[in-house]
Amino acid sequence: MKRCSIIIHSVSGNCYIIGSYLKELLAARNVDARLYRVEDPDLHIWANTQETTNDFYEDILALPIVSTGTLTKSDMVILGSPTRFGNISAEMKTFLDTTLPLSKDKSLETKFFACFTSCSNSTCEGAHTLTAMIYWAQSMGMLHIPFGVHDELDFSEQPVSGIVHLAGKEGAIRPSDRLGREMEIYADLLSAYIQE
């Protein structure tokens, strides 16, 4: 069975929700999907001051911390990060910075890649975050699988490159049923690339 590593940084819990749901969807499609987190030494501070963080604090901490070895053992890598000023979070950037040796020895070349983000209120801002993650994947020689355009959806504000969740100012708007249908479509597409 092919392995897919879903690597998240989640503060409000929204990237955790999306990553967990995507893991379930891929597992139902015969993919060995595993959920990891990047290290965040300040998450406990957010949990004490922000109710949305506290909702999923223990669940997020229970996830294994990702390593570069996780990436090399994967057939597909999916990144999920909050949007911070139109870019990935500092914690996700810190982890990606540790992968520089993998770009030099081409360990991730031809592995599949996808991405998602949760941001306050702008799909455009979220699309910039997706682009930052895609640039990283391209520098590794990975093959990006975009969300694409889907006529079967009555309405979709998703950028072609990946999934953007709009969470509102406090991150309190949780992924909706409409996003759930989009996630199912994306899982169908992603799993088709790595099913045996």
| pLDDT tens profile 51-79 | 777 788 899 999 999 999 999 999 999 99
Give the C-alpha separation, 70 to 67, whole Å. 5
Instruction: Record the pTM.
Output: 0.95
Q: Which domain holds residue 86?
A: 3-194
Q: Which 8-state DSSP code applies to residue 66?
A: P
If one counts the domains in the chain, the total is: 1
Q: Which CATH number covers residue 62?
A: 3.40.50.360
> 103 exposed, middle or buried (CB, 10 Å; 0-12, 13-18, 19+)?
middle
Query: Which range (2-6, 83-87, 117-121, 166-170) has the least confidence?
Result: 166-170
